[in-house]
């Protein structure tokens, strides 16, 4: 009523940023088979199987998982990025199998931000589809490093530090984004590659969980 003292309202905390979704991107698909091995391994099939194993482990740990393809489809790079960009508080993990490299090893890559034009703004309207990853390069690097450490513990002779490469699949993603590459279709038969799936799933899940407090703190 008029003349009554104003009561202070309780302070409200800003909404917490909680990492809850992992977008898994099995590379290739459809007419694009990816790398092929002499023993019959086909990249598009192997990465789909591995993605399913990773999804099961992530979901077991309470994370929501979105796949860029569930079967033998071949979404474009932009389609895959659009799926990732439609998620809220997510990270993006693209899975591949190389045609070279030491058998039974794994490498993690994040986007090489040095290739972005100087005019690309991280806060304004100058960001374009081709520069969407720029604000997330540092978070992507931190996720990649955590994941590489976990993979090195599972797969001997894997590097312990991730690498920056201008990977097209990561460039348009507006979230921390990494690519994981397993070696190799030429040195391992399909059974050997599939046998790596449980360890791969465990390593990726451990890395994502280790990354959560970094993500939720805004990268600080």
Residue 104 has phi, psi (to 5 degrees) of 80, 15
Pairing of strands 64-67, 90-97: unpaired
pLDDT of residue 118: 57
pLDDT of residue 212: 97
Q: Please provide the CATH number assigned to the domain covering 21-114+132-216.
A: 3.40.630.40
The domain ranges of the chain are 21-114+132-216
Sheet with 163-165, strands from edge to edge, namely 64-67, 21-26, 90-97, 177-182, 106-111, 163-165
Weakly modelled stretches of the chain, pLDDT under 50: 1-14, 120-125
pLDDT of residue 116: 66
Residue 142 has phi, psi (to 5 degrees) of -65, -40
pTM of the model: 0.89
pLDDT of residue 2: 46
- Averaged pLDDT of the chain: 89
pLDDT of residue 203: 98
Closest alpha carbon to 19 in 84, 94, 92, 91: 91
């Amino acid at each position: 009523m008029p003349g009554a003292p104003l009561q202070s309202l309780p302070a409200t905390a800003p909404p917490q940023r909680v990492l809850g979704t992992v977008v898994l991107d099995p590379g290739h698909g459809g007419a694009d088979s990816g790398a092929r091995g002499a023993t019959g391994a086909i990249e598009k099939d192997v990465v789909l199987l591995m993605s399913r194993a990773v999804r099961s482990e992530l979901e077991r740990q309470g994370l929501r998982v979105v796949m860029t393809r569930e079967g033998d489809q071949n979404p474009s790079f932009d389609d895959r990025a659009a799926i990732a960009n439609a998620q809220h508080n997510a990270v993006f993990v693209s899975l591949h199998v190389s045609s070279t490299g030491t058998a039974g090893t794994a490498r993690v890559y994040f986007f090489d931000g040095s290739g972005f034009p100087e005019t690309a703004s991280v806060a304004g309207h100058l960001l374009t589809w081709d520069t969407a990853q720029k604000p997330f390069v540092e978070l992507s690097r931190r996720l990649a490093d955590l994941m590489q450490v976990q993979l090195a513990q599972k797969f001997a002779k894997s590097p312990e530090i991730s690498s920056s490469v201008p990977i097209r699949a990561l460039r348009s993603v507006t979230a921390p984004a990494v690519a994981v590459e397993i070696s190799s279709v030429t040195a391992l038969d399909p059974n050997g590659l599939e046998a790596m799936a449980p360890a791969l799933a465990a390593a990726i899940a451990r890395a994502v969980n280790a990354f959560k407090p970094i993500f939720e703190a805004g990268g600080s």
